Amino acid sequence: MNSPGRHFLQIPGPSNTPLPILSALAMPTIDHRGPDFGKLGAEVLSRIRNVFQTEQPVVIYPASGTGAWEAALVNTLSPGDHVLMYQTGWFASLWCKMAAKLGIEAEVMAGDWRSGVEADRIGARLAEDRAHAIKAVCVVHNETSTGVTSDIAALRRAMDAAGHPALLLVDTISSLGSVEYRHDEWGVDVTVGGSQKGLMLPPGLSFNAVSQKARTAAAKARLPRAFWEWEDMIAANARGYFPYTPATNMLQALKVALDMLDSEGLANVFTRHRRAAEATRAAVRHWGFETQCRVEAEHSPVLTAVRLPEGHSADALRAEILARSNMSLGNGLGPLNDQVFRIGHLGDFHDLMVTGTISGVEMGLAARGIPHRTGGVLAAMQSLAGNGSPVLDAAE
């Protein structure tokens, strides 16, 4: 059945793709060996570095973020290598499983799925490893399943204090272009990214930002790699080209996405995401619910995972909201299945889209008979406009 009106895609990624990017995707495909493509390739390969805040190479793959996970591992490690991986949630768990499948010995440091990486715990474990058997530390910057953002700068400080030479590999798939991130300043060796969230593109591109230390490790790494090989890519990229057929139209769209981010300014993009997150959490608190993230400073700017009261189905609520309001929300993953729903507020959005999303959720809560305090939309509006707004006060 046709659902009239705009579909609200409020999952935590893929995010909404704005019309300028869709128009770029629809442009005629150009010759990926021709001079026009060389100019395009050189431009996007140079400009994408600013999003990662790096002067080092950023390798672009025609793949999902999962491919970039694998590229980070196979380029830097050898069979049987010992890595330390911190389990902040579902996606950190999947990265751990991938490492095991590749023949890497993954030591998993368990988290509670409600808070971020504990830098001191990792630092203490590294300090115990006097033989330097641990070759890499792998963490997720923004855990999409829980709505928790980890402090990567603090982790780097802890690793430095331990005096350990392990590589630092960080997943920014759901934070890149939405949350402040500094690859060089924070001493990250490989940063993993994807196109379908803060960059506002459809799924299809993934990224590895690569330090010189990581490239040195890659020269000795013995895990098999062909498609994922960094040096082949970096060599071809020096001329603006790729060693195999790239996702040509996606790269045309990436240029437009970079134009949009530069026009707004990354600092303003990050502020916009924080404001949306604060407004969403204001509504959740007003309703009387908990967020899955329980550390205030670690709340994600790109999504909010909401815990429903015992005995109420998050999936039934999501289905109700989809049917009534033509709005998609994220489901709970792994042990959080049917216990939480996730509100995405990332990519291409503005204040009215935030309040519209909150309105759809509140109507769904009422329709499902889930106990809550009404007025979450007003709480979100007050957060966005600033408490004490004369307009809002006059309406009360």
- CATH number of the domain enclosing 122: 3.40.640.10
Whether residue 3 lies inside any domain: the answer is: no
Whether residue 1 lies inside any domain: the answer is: no
Whether residue 81 contacts residue 135, with contact meaning beta carbons closer than 8 Å, is answered with yes
Q: How far is CA 65 from the centre of its chain?
A: 9
Query: Do residue 301 and residue 381 come from a single domain?
Result: yes
Given 262, 292, 311, the domain boundary residue is: 262
Whether residue 396 lies inside any domain: the answer is: no
Task: Please name the amino acid found at residue 21.
Answer: I
Whether residue 395 lies inside any domain: the answer is: no
| Confidence at residue 44, expressed as pLDDT on a 0 to 100 scale | 98
Query: Do residue 251 and residue 272 come from a single domain?
Result: no
281 annotated as ligand-binding? no
User: What DSSP designation does 224 have?
Assistant: -
Query: Do residue 282 and residue 135 come from a single domain?
Result: no
Query: Do residue 102 and residue 250 come from a single domain?
Result: yes
Q: Is 324 exposed, middle or buried (0-12, 13-18, 19+ CB in 10 A)?
A: middle
Query: Do residue 25 and residue 140 come from a single domain?
Result: yes
Whether residue 115 lies inside any domain: the answer is: yes
Q: For 58, what's the count of Cα atoms within 13 Å in the CB-facing half-sphere?
A: 26
Query: Do residue 222 and residue 279 come from a single domain?
Result: no
Query: Do residue 254 and residue 273 come from a single domain?
Result: no
| Confidence at residue 392, expressed as pLDDT on a 0 to 100 scale | 41
Q: How many domains does the chain have?
A: 2
Whether residue 394 lies inside any domain: the answer is: no
Query: Do residue 162 and residue 197 come from a single domain?
Result: yes
Distance separating alpha carbons of residues 145 and 15, to the nearest angstrom = 15
Q: List average pLDDT for each run of 10 residues in the chain, which is 396 residues long.
A: 85 97 97 98 98 98 97 98 98 97 98 98 98 98 98 98 98 98 98 98 98 98 98 98 97 98 98 98 98 97 97 98 97 98 97 97 98 98 71 38
Query: Do residue 223 and residue 332 come from a single domain?
Result: no
Given 262, 296, 327, the domain boundary residue is: 262
The strand ranges marked E within 92-149 are 105-110, 134-140, 142-143, 148-149
Beta partners for residue 340, in sequence order: 307
| Confidence at residue 4, expressed as pLDDT on a 0 to 100 scale | 80
Whether residue 96 contacts residue 171, with contact meaning beta carbons closer than 8 Å, is answered with no
User: What DSSP designation does 301 have?
Assistant: S
Query: Do residue 274 and residue 379 come from a single domain?
Result: yes
Given 209, 244, 262, the domain boundary residue is: 262
User: What is the domain range of residue 114?
Assistant: 20-262
Whether residue 104 contacts residue 97, with contact meaning beta carbons closer than 8 Å, is answered with no
Report which of 54, 55, 51 is spatially closest to residue 266, judged by C-alpha positions: 51
Distance separating alpha carbons of residues 360 and 363, to the nearest angstrom = 5
| Confidence at residue 386, expressed as pLDDT on a 0 to 100 scale | 84
Structure tokens at 199: 């960059």
What is the maximum alpha-carbon separation in the chain? 68
CATH code, domain carrying 275 = 3.90.1150.10
Whether residue 336 lies inside any domain: the answer is: yes
Structure tokens at 125: 């474990």
Q: How far is CA 160 from CA 15, 121, 122, 136, 166, in A?
A: 36, 13, 11, 13, 10
| Confidence at residue 396, expressed as pLDDT on a 0 to 100 scale | 37
Distance separating alpha carbons of residues 343 and 306, to the nearest angstrom = 8
Query: Do residue 225 and residue 141 come from a single domain?
Result: yes
| Confidence at residue 291, expressed as pLDDT on a 0 to 100 scale | 98
| Confidence at residue 1, expressed as pLDDT on a 0 to 100 scale | 65
Structure tokens at 28: 């005629």
Whether residue 94 lies inside any domain: the answer is: yes
Q: How far is CA 267 from the centre of its chain?
A: 17
Query: Do residue 103 and residue 234 come from a single domain?
Result: yes
* pTM recorded for the entire structure: 0.95
